[in-house]
Amino acid sequence: MQTSEYAIEAHGLVKKFGNFVANDHLTFDVKKGEIFGFLGANGAGKTTAMKILCGLLLPTSGKIKVAGFDVYTQTNLIKKHIGYMSQKFSLYEDLSIEENFRFYGGIYGLSRKQIAERTSTMLKKLDIEPLRKSLISSLPLGIRQKLAFSVAIIHSPGIVFLDEPTGGVDPITRRQFWEMIYEASEQGITVFVTTHYMDEAEYCNRVSIMVDGRIEALGTPGELKKKFDATDMNQVFLKLARKAG
Amino acid sequence: MNKVSVYGKGLTKSYGKTEALKSVSFSVEKGEIFGFIGPDGAGKTTLFRLLTTLLLPDSGAASIEGLDVVKDYRRLRQILGYMPGRFSLYQDLSVEENLRFFAGIFKVSISDNYHLIADIYEQIAPFAKRRAGKLSGGMKQKLALSCALIHKPEVLILDEPTTGVDAVSRREFWEMLIRLKQSGITILVATPYMDEAILCDRVALIQHGTIMATGSPADIIQTYPHKLFRIKSQNTLQLLRIMRQMPELKSAEMFGEYIHIGSSPNKMNESDIAAFLNQNNIRQFDLEPMEAGIEDCFMHLMKQQSST
C-alpha cells in the first residue's frame, strides 16, 4: 500500500447530509511531496472533504485512500500518518513552546529522546531557542504560526493538512511560512492547503477549485490561467465561482 | 483640496507595556475611501476604537466632521456608522429585527434611508425571518453593513470587513463600497489584504503601531526605491536560495511562482542576473523587469522600520 506514488487518491467522493450534497463525486490524486491547493468559495464543500480526508467523517460513497489507508476502515492509521494545522486552533496558549512540543510528540507516540531532539532542531531552525519556556500566548502571531506548522509535522507525517494557515500575518512572515512549506515538501512531506489568498494559490504545484460541491478546475496555476484566459489566480477563481450561485 | 472629514494627530495608546499606537497622524478627505492596510497587531482596531469613541487615547487628538472624539462623543456617535471586526449583531434576533433595532436606537425609520441599503439588503431580504446567527459569512457581512448604514452616517468605519471571506464575496463587498462612496459617505476601511489597497483612493500602510506611508496607491508605488525584476524557474526554493547569494541584491521575495528581486537603480541589469544564474548552473528561467506593487512597498518599508 505504501508503495503508491500518491499520498491521496480520491475517486468519486460523495458526501450527503440528508438531501444536501456537500461533495459531489470528487475525483483527484495528490502526488507524494506535492503542494496541493484546495480552493473554493465559502460553503463550496472544502471543509467537509478535508474532514473526510483526515479520517474525521465518513463519506457517503467513493473510493478514497489517504497515505495508503482506507478512509472507511483505517481512520486510526490515517490520523497517525497525517499532520493538521488550522488558523483557528493549533497550539495550547497557556502551555509553553516546549510543553506543546512534548504534548503533541506524546500524542503521536514519539519517545522522550525523539521529542527532545526534534524540539531542539525546530527551535534552532526558527532561531527562537531562548523562547523555549515562553507561553504561546506571549508570542507574536507570526512565530505562533511557524511553531504550529513545526508541531504539525513533529511526527514526520506523510501528509500535512493546512486549513487557511496564513490569515492576518504580515507579508514577510507569510513568505517565511511558505518557505517552510517548500522545505517540508522538499523533504517529501505532501502538503494539502486551503487558502483565501489567491496569490498564495500560485505557490502550489497544483490547485483544485471547488464550486457548489464539485471540482470545477484542477491543474497547475499556469495551466488554469491559460485555460481561463486570466492573468492571475484571482481572475480564474472569480470566473469560476461567479458562474455559481 | 477637499474638506477634511477625519483627522488624527499624534494618537498614542498603550495596553500595559504594549504600545498599540505610537503617535499616529493622518487626515481623510470628505467622500474618499481611505484604507488602513496592515497585518494583525498593527494597531488598526485600536485606532478605529479611538475614532469611534469606544476608547480614549493616552495622548493626541482626533476629530470627525469637526467633532472631537473625546469632548463631542455623543454627537459624534450620531454621525458614525461602525462595523467592528467581529460579527456583533444580535444572533438571536432575525435579520429584519436587527435592522429595526439599529434604526430604532438612532431614531430613524427603515424607510427613511432605505435607498442607501436597498441593493445590499435586497440580497438578504429573502432571509428576513432567519436568525442572524444562522446566516452564512457573506450574508452576515451584508446585514452588518446594512445596520451600520441605516441612520445615514456621514462617516463609515469598517474594521476588516473582508477577513475570512472568499474572493468572490470580497469583490462584491468592494463593489458595494464603491457605490456607497458615490452617495458622498466617507469610508475608512481596515484590511490585511494588500491587494485591496488599489481599490482605495488613498491608503496608510500600518505596522507595529506606526504609519509607514500614506498616499494614493500610485504615489506610494512611486516611492519604491529599487529597480525590480521578476524571475521564475522550475524550482522556486532553489532559485531563491541562489538569488539571495547575489551580492548586489537588495531583496528577493517569493510572489507565487515568481521571485521579485530588487537592486539599486543602475547597479544591475538583466544580463548581470542571467550571468550570475549561469554561473550557478541555472539555465532555464524567465526574467523580466517589472513595476513594484503595494506589497513590494510594504515589505520594503517593514525592513526599513526594523533596521532603524
Report how many domains make up chain A: 1
A180 touching B, CB under 8 A? no
Return the residue of B nearest to A206 by Cα. B257
Chain A residues lying within 8 Å of B193, measured CB to CB: 197
Domain with residue A97: its CATH number is 3.40.50.300
A226 touching B, CB under 8 A? no
Question: Mind listing the pLDDT tens digit for each residue in B66-120?
Answer: 999 999 999 999 999 999 988 889 999 999 999 999 999 999 999 999 999 998 9
Q: Which of A39, A172, A180 to mutate to test the interface with B (most CBs of B within 10 A)?
A: A172
Average pLDDT over residues B3-22: 96
Q: Which domain holds residue A112?
A: 6-243
Please report which helix (H) or strand (E) contains residue B174, including its range: helix B167-182
Question: Mind listing the pLDDT tens digit for each residue in A169-218?
Answer: 899 999 999 999 999 999 999 999 998 888 889 999 999 999 999 999 99
Burial tier of B105 (Cβ tally within 10 Å: 0-12, 13-18, 19+): exposed
Model confidence at A241, in pLDDT bands (50, 70, 90)? confident
Domains of chain B, earliest start first:
4-216 (3.40.50.300), 225-291 (3.30.70.100)
Residue B193 to residue A221, Cβ atoms within 8 A: no
Model confidence at A89, in pLDDT bands (50, 70, 90)? low
Residue A1 inside a domain? The answer is no
A175 touching B, CB under 8 A? yes
B162 touching A, CB under 8 A? no
B254 touching A, CB under 8 A? yes
Q: Is the pLDDT of residue A1 over 70?
A: no
Helices B137-149 and B167-182: crossing angle in degrees, nearest 10, is: 10
**Cell numbers found for residue A52:** 473526510
Residue A138 inside a domain? The answer is yes
A20 touching B, CB under 8 A? no
Q: Is residue A153 helix, strand or coil?
A: coil
Q: Is the pLDDT of residue B1 over 80?
A: no
Question: Mind listing the pLDDT tens digit for each residue in A136-171?
Answer: 999 988 899 999 999 999 999 999 999 988 888 899
Rounded Cα distance between A54 and A81, Å, is 10
Whether the Cβ atoms of residue A17 and residue A1 lie closer than 8 Å to each other: no
Model pLDDT, residue A243 = 64
At position B149, the amino acid (one-letter code) is L
Model confidence at B188, in pLDDT bands (50, 70, 90)? very high
Share of chain A above pLDDT 90, in %: 82
Residue B298 to residue A140, Cβ atoms within 8 A: no
The complex's ipTM works out to 0.88
Average pLDDT over residues A221-236: 93
Residue A126 inside a domain? The answer is yes
Average pLDDT over residues B270-296: 93
Model pLDDT, residue A191 = 97
Q: What number of helices (H) and strands (E) belong to chain B?
A: 10, 14
Inter-chain Cβ pairs, chain A and chain B, closer than 8 A: 89
Model pLDDT, residue A86 = 86
Return the residue of B nearest to A245 by Cα. B168
At position B241, the amino acid (one-letter code) is R
Q: Is the pLDDT of residue A245 over 80?
A: no
Helices A171-186 and A141-152: crossing angle in degrees, nearest 10, is: 10
Model pLDDT, residue B136 = 82
Residue A19 inside a domain? The answer is yes
Cross-chain CB nearest to A221 (options B136, B170, B256): B256
Residue A133 inside a domain? The answer is yes
